[in-house]
Structure 1
Amino acid sequence: MVNQIVDPLSLDFATLRTLCTVYDAGSFTAAAEVIGVNQSAISYTMERLRGVFHDPLFVREKGQQIATDRCQQIIAQVRPMLATLQRLARPEEFDPKSARHTLRLACNYYERMLIIPLLVRELRRQAPGIELVVVNSRGTGPERMLRGDSDLLIGPRPTTQTGVYVSRLCREDYVCLMDPAHPMADRTLTVKDYVALDLIDITYEGNWVSSYITELQAMGHRLRPALIVPSPAGVSHLVRGSTLVATVPRRLAQAMGEGLRIVECPVGGKFDITLMWPPRFHADAMHQWMRGVVIGLRRELGSAGKPKSAGARPDP
């Protein structure tokens, strides 16, 4: 007979598994051996189940526990639930060849020039069904990513942002891009030489202060640029045939500076380009694969960072 009424929401999957085990084993004793508990634990669990389902569930006939009709109905519903839970508990598998997914990646001009082409090449080769949507991070990439505006972020490592995962892709520093006919094109620049040049100040729309500027300010220097622009896009055309000098990351200078001279900046201003992702995607199989593809580009990014002009410093 049923001795108590139990809230059905108090049941857990282990309790339901016990019900199925008793049904399969045919006795409380045999079920206890299968699960690895004593018989009193089985009896206690069965009393709770009887209180939930308002049915004796098993009756003893000829020395065996015989399931009631109500018990058989319950077992038929419970088994698929347990099977679904076990299936969900298995590590998720991801097949890039058959995957169909849209992934939003936030970055800026540097990454669109140097990293996105490499990434698209790998996606076309390994996972042609993944659609990549690139959005502008505009200096607030980590915050926007945490809000759900993007799935991944590639860019300079944030100095204060918390709550995101970060992996370094490469180390960068700054060089000077100038016309080959510039009077200082074949000189080793000192800080005094540098601050006297016709400099282009790239403001990154106010969303990023270049580390070389921070270092110069710490030395007590204040730049008086000849030209201020919001982005590095197009600065190679501004430099060509003029006395203007653009201070840009080394890899970017090599990508955009064909026919121009790359001269070492006396203030390198090293910084990291990183891959960032939010906690919500950390254990996701597709995102784990995607991060592996991006991180796998480190070797090519390292090669791109090797200097092409005499006297240049290698990427550490």
Structure 2
Amino acid sequence: MKLLSRIDIRQLRILSSLLQERNLSRVADQLGVTQQAVSDQLKKLRETLDDRLFIRTSNGVIPTPYAESLQPKVEHILAALEDLLTPQTFDPRTVTRTLTLCSTDLEQIVILPKLLKILRREAPGVRLAVKKLELDQLSTSLLTGEVDLVISNPDFAPPSYPSLSLYPEHYACVASKANKTVRKQMTVEQIAQIPQVVVSPSRGDFSGAANSWFEQQGHPRNVVLSVPTFSAAKACIAESDICGFIPARLLPDARLRVIELDADVPGFEVIAVWHNRSSQDPLHQWLREQLLAVATTP
């Protein structure tokens, strides 16, 4: 309790901002105080916590390992205080905020237009910033608040974060309508021999979601192209002799033909993922409800 009496909310806000911005001048501007005031509070924190916390550099400051270890605790405390002071009555029509979503183009095509329609009608003051799916940065982006919500496949999502199942999806094997090497019905072995495209949102690898399924059938597939979006995959399939597996909600497509296979292609689940600190946020809760509603509407 003695240590608790030596720390106030201002110091926690400064610590949180410095861990994100790593620059005293920017933090001072954000909080509406002088740079000297930031330095004074940082000095008190160093004395209280018995650690340097930040090392000055020519470009700003670098947090010590101990300071970095404090970030999730400080964010949790600040989020709890915000929740404590947030009014219980929530009306989306009165909210003015910007939320950042991260997803593949599948969700941007299937879910985003319907969600936007609801937002424009019921929460006109809410702005959405939609970013592409950066698989290797998801956990960090959610932790730092750079991203508020991720819509993704569970295989890509941070397992320790809360999530909401939106809808099940399945793949369809497609080729160009002009492709004379394919038929309406084919075997897995035959399809495995045709050059294929896979969608890798940010890694650019050639593994693809159906690779293990092909290997289980005993027919490793011939992947010749990796693209970051399903839209690009469909465009490339339409103009070449390759085939690929496209989520059913992105079909039909006048340029493509669906190939029936002699085995069921595995599907996947689409989920929404967020950081714990947003679980009780009224706007976040409301947005998740709208996402579930539009995802389950035909």
CA contact (8 A) 1:212 1:267 kept: no
Q: Structure 2 unaligned runs (5+)? A: 6-80
1:148 aligns to 2:141 (yes or no): no
Tell me the distance in 1 between the aligned counterparts of 2:196 and 2:208: 14
CA contact (8 A) 1:98 1:129 kept: yes
**Alpha-carbon distance change, 221 to 147 in structure 1, aligned in 2, over 3 angstroms:** farther
After TM superposition, give the deviation of residue 185 of structure 1 in Å.
Answer: 5.3
CA contact (8 A) 2:175 2:242 kept: yes
Q: Secondary structure at the match of 2:95?
A: coil
**Residue of structure 2 in register with 1:217 after alignment:** 215
**Residue of structure 1 in register with 2:125 after alignment:** 129
Which is higher, the Rg of structure 1 or of structure 2?
A: 1
CA contact (8 A) 1:203 1:230 kept: yes
**Alpha-carbon distance change, 121 to 160 in structure 1, aligned in 2, over 3 angstroms:** closer
- RMSD of aligned residue pairs (Cα, Å): 2.8
- Which of 237, 242, 245 aligns to 2:235? It is 237
After TM superposition, give the deviation of residue 273 of structure 1 in Å.
Answer: 0.6
Tell me the distance in 2 between the aligned counterparts of 1:202 and 1:102: 29
Counterparts in 2 of 1:1-316, with a 5 A limit?
A: 92-140=88-136, 141-158=138-155, 161-183=158-180, 186-206=183-203, 209-240=207-238, 242-254=240-252, 257-265=253-261, 266=263, 268-300=265-297, 303=298
Tell me the distance in 2 between the aligned counterparts of 1:228 and 1:276: 25
Tell me the distance in 2 between the aligned counterparts of 1:276 and 1:233: 23
Tell me the distance in 2 between the aligned counterparts of 1:130 and 1:248: 32
Q: Secondary structure at the match of 1:234?
A: helix
After TM superposition, give the deviation of residue 263 of structure 1 in Å.
Answer: 2.5
One-letter amino acid matched to 1:246: G
Q: Secondary structure at the match of 2:251?
A: helix
Post-superposition CA distance 1:127-165 (Å, at most 9, x none): 010011112231132442123221111111136733311
Tell me the distance in 2 between the aligned counterparts of 1:109 and 1:160: 16
Tell me the distance in 2 between the aligned counterparts of 1:177 and 1:170: 22
Give the structure-2-normalised TM-score: 0.63
Tell me the distance in 2 between the aligned counterparts of 1:196 and 1:232: 21
**Residue of structure 1 in register with 2:52 after alignment:** none
CA contact (8 A) 1:102 1:132 kept: yes
- How many aligned positions are there? 215
**Residue of structure 2 in register with 1:308 after alignment:** none
Tell me the distance in 2 between the aligned counterparts of 1:242 and 1:176: 15
Post-superposition CA distance 1:253-292 (Å, at most 9, x none): 33xx234212245451211110111110111111111111
CA contact (8 A) 1:191 1:267 kept: no
After TM superposition, give the deviation of residue 219 of structure 1 in Å.
Answer: 3.5
Q: Secondary structure at the match of 1:258?
A: coil
Q: Structure 1 unaligned runs (5+)? A: 1-8, 10-84, 304-316
After TM superposition, give the deviation of residue 207 of structure 1 in Å.
Answer: 6.6
Q: Report the identity percentage.
A: 25
